[in-house]
Amino acid sequence: MATSDSRIDLLDLEPDVALAQLRTWMNERGEPAYRATQVLGRLWQKPVRTIDDISELPKALREALAVDFRISSLELATRQASIDGTEKFLFRLDDGQLIETVAIPDGDRLTFCISSQAGCALKCAFCATGAMGFQRNLRPSEIAGQVRELRMLTPAIVPTNIVFMGMGEPLMNWKAVSPTLTLLNDPRALGIGARHITISTVGVLPGIQALAARPEQFRLAISIHAPSDELRQTLMPVNTKYPLAEVIEAAKEFDRRVTFEYVMLGGVNDQPEHAAQLAQLARECRAFVNLIPLHPGGGMGFHPTPAPVIASFAKALRGRSIETAIRRSRGLDIAAACGQLRTERLGRRLPVATEDDREVHVA
Ligand code: SF4
């Protein structure tokens, strides 16, 4: 099912690059430069499905353009709505891979949780996507394309915020994620403010450095999940390559506010000593801590921390002057946890009960 289309997908290109290529192409054919700007405007701002839909271009020009370029699209395979307003979308890519996007309303905000890889290689012990294994990296057109597709629905679904917390580890796909950040942020593309775009990572150090080097104020969230190497090793195999101390050092050097993500696993990482250790790490990096309840039903052999224990954990952090929030579980009735819808569609059974609700990618 892999595509053999060798044309340039215009949605893979940052606006400057797309414009330059289109101008050159137009120039070679004696067409005015404004034609390139017209095409660019139809990629993201007033998006069309195909080059043939760019009706402001003469038919012959559209046909010629479509010989060298294309505008790809993602096929919406499944859409599920939760009673709490959360919506989950499963997209089929042109090689048959399935990826997920979740839209989470919260007051006047609408956050899209987007995927950056099909599957994931990192095998965090509590994660459905990790259990599927790695399929492939997504291209910019497939990452930013998730936002584009939802904006093209009727009525349009337009996000105020983006988090890279869907399937995959975004900083393991920096080659595509970096141009995607440009596409999300650039006013000629999706125009979402950098402070409203968060990269969530397990702590891939080269990726954090690359993100820090970008001038825009993109946000960084780091999945800690365990406050010691010993425990973290058992939950997140990637800790061998990027040990906690080095991740904390990278967080300290990041020149913007960092958030720690911490999934609450009953009896595993939710004890008072863990709160004390976590507070120490958060203090070192002046990090904000997000406590993430494991969804009811648990998963992968883990159980949710009871709500009163989460509250005590949060209190212990706040008592040490650490800004802390307890994230609400969303989309419980549609299983809005990363990898889950895809797993259902693939007909695979996870080694857990039916309501396999985990709030991931918490990496
Ligand atoms: S939590 Fe994130 S990094 Fe870990 S296996 Fe799942 S998708 Fe990959």
- Say how many Å lie between the CA of residue 277 and the centre of ligand 1: 23
- Say how many Å lie between the CA of residue 62 and the centre of ligand 1: 42
Q: Is the CB of 360 under 6 A from ligand 1?
A: yes
Q: Is the CB of 168 under 6 A from ligand 1?
A: yes
- Say how many Å lie between the CA of residue 261 and the centre of ligand 1: 12
Alpha helices in the chain (DSSP H): 15-28, 34-41, 59-68, 128-132, 140-151, 174-185, 205-213, 229-235, 244-253, 272-285, 307-318, 340-345
CB 290 within 8 A of CB 262: yes
Can you tell me which atom of ligand 1 is nearest the CA of 167?
Answer: 7
Residue with the nearest Cα to atom 5 of ligand 1?
130
Dist. CA 171–CA 361, nearest whole Å: 13
| Chain-centre distance for alpha carbon 89 | 13
Q: Is the CB of 129 under 6 A from ligand 1?
A: yes
Locus of tokens 């959360």: 86
Helix, strand or coil, per DSSP, at residue 326: strand
Can you tell me which atom of ligand 1 is nearest the CA of 120?
Answer: 8
Can you tell me which atom of ligand 1 is nearest the CA of 126?
Answer: 1
In this predicted structure, what is the pLDDT of residue 93? 97
CA pseudo-torsion sign 22, 25, 28, 34 = negative
> Which residues participate in catalysis according to the annotation?
100, 338
Dist. CA 77–CA 347, nearest whole Å: 14
Taken as a whole, the chain contains a residue count of 363
Q: Is the CB of 166 under 6 A from ligand 1?
A: no
In this predicted structure, what is the pLDDT of residue 358? 34
Report, as ranges of residue numbers, the positions in the chain whose pLDDT lies below 70.
Answer: 1-3, 296-299, 332, 334-363
Residue type at position 20: A
Q: Is the CB of 225 under 6 A from ligand 1?
A: no
Domains and CATH numbers, the chain: 8-70 (1.10.150.530), 75-345 (3.20.20.70)
In this predicted structure, what is the pLDDT of residue 334? 65
CB 103 within 8 A of CB 166: no
Can you tell me which atom of ligand 1 is nearest the CA of 131?
Answer: 5
Q: Is the CB of 165 under 6 A from ligand 1?
A: no
Which value, to the nearest 10 degrees, does the dihedral of the CA atoms of residues 231, 235, 239, 243 take?
A: -30
- Say how many Å lie between the CA of residue 48 and the centre of ligand 1: 33
In this predicted structure, what is the pLDDT of residue 131? 84
- Say how many Å lie between the CA of residue 165 and the centre of ligand 1: 9
Tell me the pLDDT tens digit for each residue of 173-215. 999 999 999 999 999 999 999 999 999 999 999 999 999 999 9
CB 234 within 8 A of CB 268: no
Locus of tokens 């990637």: 238
Can you tell me which atom of ligand 1 is nearest the CA of 338?
Answer: 7
Q: What is the average pLDDT value for the chain, to the nearest integer?
A: 90
In this predicted structure, what is the pLDDT of residue 132? 85
Residue with the nearest Cα to atom 4 of ligand 1?
124
In this structure, what token pair is assigned to residue 94? Answer: 């042109």
Q: Is the CB of 188 under 6 A from ligand 1?
A: no
- Say how many Å lie between the CA of residue 113 and the centre of ligand 1: 14
Dist. CA 181–CA 185, nearest whole Å: 6
Residues 309-336: b if buried by 16+ CB within 10 A, e if exposed? bbeebbebbeeeebebebbebbbbebbb
- Say how many Å lie between the CA of residue 7 and the centre of ligand 1: 32
In this predicted structure, what is the pLDDT of residue 356? 31
Tell me the pLDDT tens digit for each residue of 216-269. 999 999 999 999 999 999 999 999 999 999 999 999 999 898 999 999 999 999
What pTM was estimated for this model as a whole?
Answer: 0.92
Locus of tokens 């044309």: 7
Residue with the nearest Cα to atom 7 of ligand 1?
168
In this predicted structure, what is the pLDDT of residue 294? 86
Q: Is the CB of 231 under 6 A from ligand 1?
A: no
In this predicted structure, what is the pLDDT of residue 128? 81
